[in-house]
Amino acid sequence: MSFNTLLIANRGEIARRVIRTAHEMGIRCVAVYTDADVDAGFVADADESVRLSTSYLDGKAILKAARLTGAQAIHPGYGFLAENAAFATDVEAAGLTWVGPTPETIAKMGDKLEAKALAEAAGVPVLPGSIDTQHADKIGYPLLVKAAAGGGGKGMRVVASAAELDDAIAAAKREAAHGFGDDRVFLERYVARARHIEIQILGDAHGGLVHLGERECSIQRRHQKIVEESPSPRVDATLREAMGQAATRLAGALAYRSAGTVEFLLDDETGEFYFLEVNTRLQVEHPVTEAVTGIDLVREQLRIAAGEKLGYGQDAIQFHGAAIEVRLYAEDPANQFLPAIGTLIAFEPATSPLARWDSGVEAGTTVTTDFDPMLAKVIVHAETRHEAAGRLALVLESSHIGGVVTNRDFLAAVLRTPEFLAGDTTTDFIERVAPPRTLALSAEELEQLARVAALFLQGANRANAPVWGSAPSGWRNGRMPLQSSVFVWHEEKITVAYRTLRDGSFRFADASQARVHLWKPDSIDVEITGRRFRSRISRLGDSLIVHGPRGDVTLRIQPRFELPGEEEVSGGLVAPMPGKVIELRVSIGDRVRAGDTLILLEAMKMEHPMNATEDGVVTEVLVSQGEQVENGALLLVVEPEDGGDS
């Protein structure tokens, strides 16, 4: 190995992932961090850390940190500077080893238009498209507007008709300029019934080149992947060989070095595939390839960067079983998958069934709008795809997670749909299949969890009562009265009334009985009407996160007296998430129609249009362009033009 100290120019779960393999190889690791990550896990994992006063995009500061700590190589992870050719050039110019493809390859593949031309020259099929936005009618609708320097769903818009084109181009340009510093866009044919298939490649500096099979990443929201798997249920041996050959043909033309991914769009109906792009870095979904091949991709990156040969050819690559990964995000699927913020009161990954958790968070972590909202990647490998899906769903349901709204319940629902289990996973999956976006509880399930919460609270009250702690809960010198707890779940109130019996058991108002076998400050082992289970419970203020058989439910303890809430403003447009007002399109007195975009909010580097819900006149504007707003903030008021009934 030509280096023994590695700086990781990234954060969160990918920084921890790189550190883990580097340490196994005997390589010392240096982390860089900003003030927002001062207590982050990856900082503690590293052997040494350097604070960045600016951001993870400050290449000069990162190089200074490398010089300060004696790091001889830099691994960029993914995102931030991972595909920045100028930074890669600066790293090599500083005499350091760049863990990735050559700067020249990054530059060529970073420009989606140049990459498309190179793919076509290498005999790889490409989708019809144009850099001239006047050619939209020739390409045909629906079509995609895509950022030339884009990726990760940023700077991408689906356009159904000519009427939507100008707004889509403008939005894509803004998002691309902000995310990549390059506002160029192009048009491409949109394939409705398609699959997103990508081929993992590895190349060394000695001409060695292999592919590690395919991953399918078709289930997406906002053009960002949330479920990935290998192998694809749609790809057979013949198609795998054809796509693998196309990927390695292009990689060979590039003299590709390091790990990379050649992405294709597969027409589900015809079986034809088309080149999309080359990602010149490690992919978020790389663990599923590692699981089915047994090859550690970070280890291979480090070996290749050190000048070693791969040491094996295509015939040596073998595939075993099936692997599925889901991305656990802080977001609200019921609210258009918009990002969520808050503090993780509970974050306890399930220890059984067996799963791999790649995560940069823990209980107590505060989730903000500063970074991508991904909390963890959860990966399961099994003998069959059906078994992997079931195990992964159970892992999600068995984990205790709360304090921040997540997509956990939605992911578990996706994995249990008949369509997913049948391999019917085209890019329109979410809209077509419409899995439940939140945990749907029956009245009986909700009542059971509320009873668990009530018994947990009585245990907590007794534990905190130094004088009467040994007396039965609710004890009086006479007949023991009914005790009651009132909880709120969403807008629903649940009242639990019970009496403590002299033998320490409990009887509810409907005469059913319960017994607490063990109470702890973070859990309760309880038997209710003959059913016994242990529930993990986390509390913050008046909120209880109660873990049930199918996941976590947050119950708010209703106080005996509640102050009246604020009245909702009729016609008010409120922020569905914290964000920044990047465009204010209306003024007081403007007439608007239902569906008109009135404000554009930006959160976590993505644009979110705020549209009018009805025709009317803008009577109040309470924000200004550039202003940061909180979730639920009133932005403006639209009143019906006729002023109501006359």
Name which of 167-171, 237-241, 570-574 the model is least confident about: 570-574
Q: Do residues 331 and 295 share a domain?
A: no
Q: Report the percent of the chain where pLDDT is more than 70.
A: 93
pLDDT digits (tens, 9 = 90+) for 506-516: 999 999 999 99
User: Measuring CA to CA, which residue among 37, 73, 68 is closest to residue 55?
Assistant: 37
Half-sphere exposure of 293 (CA within 13 A, CB side): 25
Q: Among residues 525, 557, 589, which one ends one of the domains?
A: 557
Is 71 in contact with 96 (CB distance < 8 Å)? yes
For residue 333, give the CATH number of its domain.
3.30.470.20
CA–CA dist 198, 250 (Å, integer): 13
Give the model confidence (pLDDT) of 428-484 as tens digits. Answer: 999 999 999 999 899 999 999 999 999 999 999 888 865 444 555 554 544 556 899
Give the residue, 301 or 128, on which the prediction is more confident.
Answer: 301
CA distance 410 to 437: 5
User: Residue range 516-544: average pLDDT?
Assistant: 95
How much of the chain exceeds pLDDT 90, in percent?
74
Cα 589 to Cα 108, 346, 411, 575, 646, distances in angstroms: 50, 47, 44, 21, 21
- Burial (CB < 10 A; 0-12, 13-18, 19+), residue 205, is middle
- Does residue 566 sit within a domain? no
pLDDT tens string 33-81: 999 999 999 999 999 999 999 999 999 999 999 999 999 999 999 999 9
> Is the model's pLDDT at 323 over the cut of 70?
yes
What phi and psi, each to the nearest 5 degrees, are found at residue 2?
A: -85, 0
Q: Are 516 and 592 contained in the same domain?
A: no
User: How many domains, in total, are found in the chain?
Assistant: 6
Ordered DSSP codes for 108-119: HHHSHHHHHHHH
Q: Give me the mean pLDDT over the 312-337 stretch.
A: 96
Residue 151 has pLDDT above 80, yes or no: no
Residue 150's pLDDT band, with cuts at 50, 70 and 90, is low
* One domain for residues 465 and 547: yes
pLDDT of residue 608: 79
Phi-psi region of 336 (alpha: psi -120 to 50; beta: other; left: phi over 0): left
Helix (H) / strand (E) element for 138: namely helix 136-139
Supply the pLDDT for residue 479: 52
pTM listed for this prediction: 0.85
* Tokens 């009986």, located at residue: 444
The pLDDT value given to residue 58: 97
C-beta of residue 515 within 8 angstroms of C-beta of residue 506: yes
Q: How far is CA 48 from the centre of its chain?
A: 28
Residue 177: count of CB within 10 angstroms of its CB: 15
Structural domain includes residue 104 = no
In angstroms, the CA 321 to CA 129 distance is 37
Q: Does pLDDT of 567 surpass 70? A: no
For residue 572, name the pLDDT band (cuts at 50, 70, 90): confident
Q: Mark whether 218 and 284 lie in a shared domain.
A: yes
Report the pLDDT value the prediction gives residue 478, as an integer from 0 to 100.
45
My answer on whether 459 and 497 are in the same domain is yes
Same domain, 293 and 347: no
321: its two tokens? 């079983």
Query: What are the b/e assignments for 505-526, b being 16+ CB within 10 Å?
Result: ebbbeeeeebebeebeeebbeb
Picking from 414, 439, 464, the residue at the C-terminal end of a domain is: 439
Q: Say yes or no: 447 and 353 in one domain.
A: no
- Write out pLDDT tens, residues 101-114: 999 999 999 988 89
Same domain, 301 and 337: no
189, 204, 224: which is the final residue of a domain? Answer: 189
Q: Is 573 left (phi over 0), alpha (psi -120 to 50) or beta?
A: beta
Kindly state whether residues 478 and 613 are assigned to the same domain.
Answer: no
User: Could you write out the three-class secondary structure of 286-330?
Assistant: HHHHHHHHCCCHHHHHHHHHCCCCCCCCHHHCCCCCEEEEEEEEC
Tell me if 213 is assigned to some domain.
yes
Check whether residue 152 and residue 215 sit in a common domain. Answer: no
The secondary element (H helix, E strand) that includes residue 445 is helix 443-463
Residue 123 shares a structural domain with residue 262: yes
The verdict on residue 292 lying in a domain is yes
DSSP, collapsed to helix, strand or coil, labels residue 167 as helix
Within-domain flag for 214: yes
Least reliable range by pLDDT among 193-197, 368-372, 400-404, 445-449:
368-372
Q: Which two tokens stand for residue 523?
A: 């859990």
Rg (CA), the chain: 27
| 143 inside domain | yes
Domain that holds residue 253: 119-127+193-320
Q: Say if CB 377 and CB 357 are below 8 A apart.
A: yes
Task: Name which of 242-251, 334-343, 502-511, 635-644 the model is least confident about.
Answer: 635-644
- Domain with residue 627: its CATH number is 2.40.50.100
Residue position matching structure tokens 């160029």: 184
- Rounded-to-5 percentages of helix, strand, coil across the chain: 30, 35, 40
Convert the pLDDT of each residue in 597-634 to its tens digit: 999 888 766 777 888 888 999 999 989 998 888 877 88
CB 367 within 8 A of CB 344: yes
CATH assignment at residue 532: 3.30.700.40
Q: Where are the beta strands (DSSP E) in 383-530?
A: 400-402, 483-489, 492-500, 506-508, 513-520, 523-528
Query: What digits encode the pLDDT tens for the residues 586-598?
Result: 999 899 988 889 9
Q: Please report whether residue 475 resides in a domain.
A: yes
Which tops the pLDDT comparison, 576 or 617? 617
Q: Are 510 and 593 contained in the same domain?
A: no
Output the average pLDDT for the chain.
Answer: 91
Q: Answer whether residue 109 is part of any domain.
A: no
Angle between helices 297-305 and 12-24 (to 10 degrees): 70
Q: How far apart are CA 399 and CA 346, in angstroms?
A: 9
> Could you give the CA distance from residue 182 to residue 184 in angstroms, rounded to a whole number?
6
